[in-house]
Amino acid sequence: MAEYTDPRECDGDGVADEMPELSDGDDEDIDNDEEQWMEEEDEEDSHPVTVTCLFCDRLLSSVPATLQHCTAEHQVNLVDLIRKHNLDDYGYIKMINYIRSTKCVASCLTGLPGAPLPWEGEDFLRPVLQDDPLLQTDPEELCEGSSLSTCPSSGAQSHDALQQWAQVAEERARSSEEALARAMDDLHKLKLLAQGLVLNAETSRSGNTGAVAELREDEDEAYFSSYGHYSIHEEMLKDKVRTESYRDFMYRNPEVFRDKVVLDVGCGTGILSMFAARAGAKKVIAVDQSEIIYQAMDIVRSNQLEDKITLIKGRIEDIKLPVEKVDIIISEWMGYFLLFESMLDSVLYARDLYLADGGSVYPDLCNISLAAVGDTQKHQDHIAFWDDVYGFNMACMKKAVVPEAMVEVVKTETLISEPTVIQTIDCNRVCLSELEFASDFCLKITNTTDCTAIVGYFDIFFDKGCSNKVMFSTGPQVTKTHWKQTVFLLERPISVQAGEELQGKITVRKNKKDPRSLLVTFDFGDRKLTYSLQ
Ligand code: SAH
């Protein structure tokens, strides 16, 4: 799993808006249609329209050129006539057909005050010329472009007029786009306002579970929409340590999967489901609440695995599976510092409801580890930096910076202790309440220096019943993953001696205001530091 943006920081543009259009048909057909359409458009471009003048036999190359010609040669300004008689579409069509059928002179068109117009009859709705371009023109548009098309000029300037007309059209398109952008912006602000209202409702009416549930739903919407965009999945798929470990576990242990029914909780693009199918699973049920599942549907079909893999869109907690029990649950639920995102809760929910007796959840074992870091340079970059920013004292910023755990890659050479495991989670046994815990730890210091931070990371094991066990680590000693490491900076470094043991207690709990984020507290006896992970 990859980054999850704090819902309150989530860009309200709605990732779903950017989703490519779904296709459940044959892509080739779509491409062909598109090409055909473009060809047709090109054809149209290569056949310019010709318009017969209303008063003589002259052929003109466009409607604006015709208007100019009528004004210059016949002293009939069609736009003035439209305006004068307040002509709607029908009135305009009738007038054109009237002129063409009666070959009248200009003076007939001005009409007498109070008298009915000479083209009033319904007969004039019938076109005199077939495919008359003048009839395909909107009179309102003619009027809007009038300053361009009606100025007396020679036919030679029709190209300029066309160009100017195109500019007007472009301008109109641009202002419509701007209006749309403003509307989207307003929508975004409204959404934030609504979120704010819900948040306030929660604090002012604590204990009101309705408001809390609403807030959770809102947050979850942001959570799932962060997984709707392809980029997060690209990052995860490109994380070879992660993806190849899942692949190796399944391909190297086909006996675990042969003829089994597998549930993939949070299938994303469907990669794990496809590994499981290839490893010999009888059936795979792949569930995801995020819009990415529509891509997974295409992906599964493209790989001819639709007979094996059934995809279901929805939260695992909300949907009903088409089977009563499954033999195996696979999921990639891990967040920063393992538990950030709280997706393990959903896997445990699925386990307790759907896993058959004797079934297994993979990965099955997870370790969370800590180590001491001595990196004075990094410490200065993040903390001392605020003492003098372009000659100004911004030290108060430290109070905001320090309590936020950082996600970054820690250089191996800055480790100044042996790592220590603070928690092991067995996904086949652990219960929800155990995902919040406290643990005493002891770090064996290897260098005499200043300890400037504590680093946290996790290791993942595919172990249960596997003849070929697979594991991977997200620690600073090995190839980096997209989880990087989690760094808890100490505002005041602790001076340590090689051989000494740095003792402390760590408490990990969910942030009640945002249950997908974590609060981590370190107690070193003389100081207690709480960090948020979001
Ligand atoms: N299995 C994929 C994606 C992992 S990311 C891979 O390994 O590449 C985790 C996915 O789980 C996301 O797509 C997210 O939308 C989905 N997810 C998280 N919680 C879920 C829940 N409760 N119900 C359904 N899908 C969930």
268 CA from centroid of ligand 1 (Å): 5
CA 224 – CA 20 distance, rounded (Å): 17
Q: Express the helix, strand and coil content of the chain in percent, nearest 5 each.
A: 45, 25, 35
444 pLDDT exceeds 90?
A: yes
Of 86-95, 285-294, 335-344, least confident by mean pLDDT is 86-95
| Of residues 252, 243, 238, the one with CA closest to residue 271 | 243
pTM for the whole structure: 0.65
pLDDT tens sequence across 7-35: 333 333 333 333 333 333 344 443 444 44
- 111 Cβ contact partners less than 8 Å away, ≥ 6 residues apart: 85, 117, 118
Of 179-193, 244-258, 331-345, 499-513, least confident by mean pLDDT is 179-193
177 pLDDT exceeds 80?
A: no
Band of pLDDT at residue 269, cut at 50, 70 and 90: very high
Q: Is the CB of 226 under 6 A from ligand 1?
A: no
423 pLDDT exceeds 80?
A: yes
CATH fold, domain 223-361, is Rossmann fold (3.40.50)
Q: Is the CB of 272 under 6 A from ligand 1?
A: yes
Q: Is the CB of 236 under 6 A from ligand 1?
A: yes
Residue 460: predicted pLDDT: 98
CA 526 – CA 386 distance, rounded (Å): 25
pLDDT tens sequence across 207-227: 344 444 555 666 788 889 889
Q: 233 and 292 in contact (C-beta within 8 Å)?
A: yes
Nearest atom in ligand 1 to the alpha carbon of residue 315 is: 23
Residue 200: predicted pLDDT: 42
Band of pLDDT at residue 111, cut at 50, 70 and 90: confident
SS3 state at 437? strand
Band of pLDDT at residue 206, cut at 50, 70 and 90: very low
**Nearest residue CA, atom 21 of ligand 1?**
315
**Nearest residue CA, atom 10 of ligand 1?**
266
CA 420 – CA 434 distance, rounded (Å): 19
Residue 210: predicted pLDDT: 45
**Nearest residue CA, atom 5 of ligand 1?**
1
What is the arithmetic mean of pLDDT over 101-113? 79
434 CA from centroid of ligand 1 (Å): 22
Residue 137: predicted pLDDT: 85
Strands 59-60 and 51-52 come out as antiparallel
> Higher model confidence: residue 90 or residue 219?
90
Nearest atom in ligand 1 to the alpha carbon of residue 246 is: 7
Measured CA distances, 185 to 16, 218, 224 (Å): 16, 19, 21
Q: Is the CB of 74 under 6 A from ligand 1?
A: no
Q: Is the CB of 295 under 6 A from ligand 1?
A: no
Band of pLDDT at residue 64, cut at 50, 70 and 90: confident
Residue 195: predicted pLDDT: 52
293 CA from centroid of ligand 1 (Å): 9
Of 106-115, 296-305, 415-424, least confident by mean pLDDT is 106-115
SS3 state at 486? strand
327 CA from centroid of ligand 1 (Å): 19
Of 111-115, 233-237, 414-418, 529-533, least confident by mean pLDDT is 111-115
Cis-peptide into 363, omega within 30 deg: yes
Enumerate the active-site residues: 332, 341
Q: Where are the domains of the chain?
A: 43-147, 223-361, 365-533
Q: Is the CB of 347 under 6 A from ligand 1?
A: no
333 CA from centroid of ligand 1 (Å): 7
Residue 170: predicted pLDDT: 77
pLDDT tens sequence across 451-497: 999 999 999 999 999 999 999 999 999 999 999 999 999 999 999 99
**Mean of pLDDT over the chain:** 85
Band of pLDDT at residue 185, cut at 50, 70 and 90: low
| Of residues 210, 179, 220, 291, the one with CA closest to residue 10 | 220
Q: 58 and 69 in contact (C-beta within 8 Å)?
A: yes
Q: Which two tokens stand for residue 61?
A: 């190359």
323 CA from centroid of ligand 1 (Å): 20
What is the arithmetic mean of pLDDT over 409-426? 98
b/e map of 110-138 (b: 16 or more CB within 10 Å)? Answer: eeeeeeebbbeeeebeeebeeebebbebe
**Nearest residue CA, atom 14 of ligand 1?**
266
State percent of the chain over pLDDT 90: 59
**In angstroms, how far is CA 205 from the centroid of its own chain?**
32
- Where are the strands (E) in 275-349, listed by range? 283-288, 309-313, 326-331
405 pLDDT exceeds 50?
A: yes
Q: Is the CB of 296 under 6 A from ligand 1?
A: no
Q: Is the CB of 1 under 6 A from ligand 1?
A: yes
In the CATH hierarchy, which top-level class contains the domain 365-533? mainly beta
Of 228-232, 443-447, 527-531, least confident by mean pLDDT is 228-232
